[in-house]
Structure formats: structure tokens, C-alpha cells
Amino acid sequence: MRLPGGLLACVALAGTIGLFLTWPASADVKSVRMLCEAVYLPTRTVWAREVELEHNGQALTAVRIDGVSVYAFSVDGTLVLTSLDNERIQIDTASQTWHSDFRGLAQSQGRCERTR
């Protein structure tokens, strides 16, 4: 189903409002960095994943994971949904959690801590 352009913009804006409610209202904040410690199963390995979210105060403009810019992302409330190298990633900025799935072969989840 295709949404008209104006309606799509309203839906996208509504999704970003919840995301920024968890961020400081300071005008000088342009990016948020989080360090996420994700436990990958079934191998039970822990990976430190660095997430950087850039915004202009009204909308999320860029997402980087481990220093690599993602090609596309979407926002649903406080969730940032994206993928990188066949890994589907979901970051919840409110509960500061990381969840991902790597082609059904491995899954991960973990806590994130805001570093900036």
C-alpha cells in the first residue's frame, strides 16, 4: 500500500517525535553515541557495537554503526530499525537496548549505554 507523500511525511514525523523525547532538549546536541554490548547466540560471544545517531532537532538524519553509515533506516516511536551487512538491527533509544538477527543464523540482544 502506498501512502500519499504528505501523509507519509506526517507518519515519519510522528515516529521521530517519540525518539527525541528521550534526548536532551539542548539545541547544541547534534548526535548521540551509544555503546551496546550485544550477546550473539548460539556462540555466546559478546560484541561491543558503537551506534551514532545524528539529528537536526526535528528528525533523525544519519545512523552509523561501528563507524559505518547505514544505507537506510526507519523510525517507529523510540525504535530505530536498520540493517548492515545482512544483519537486521533494532535499537530502542528509550530502553537503551539492541536486538539483531543475522540471516536467521545468529541473534543478538544487549544493553546500550549512552556515551555522548
The domain locations on the chain are 5-114
Whether residue 12 is predicted with pLDDT greater than 60 in this model: the reply is no
* Calpha distance 77→90 (Å, rounded): 12
Which positions ≥6 away from 59 have C-beta within 8 Å?
A: 12, 13, 16
8, β-bridge pairs: none
**Burial letters 98-107, b for 16+ CB under 10 A, else e:** bbbbeeeeeb
pLDDT, one tens digit per residue, over 66-76 is 999 999 999 99
Q: Which three cell numbers stand for residue 55?
A: 539529528
Q: Apex CA 58: angle with CA 26 and CA 78, to 5°?
A: 90
Which amino acid appears at position 9 of this protein?
A
pLDDT, one tens digit per residue, over 46-70 is 999 999 999 988 889 999 999 999 9
* Calpha distance 43→112 (Å, rounded): 20
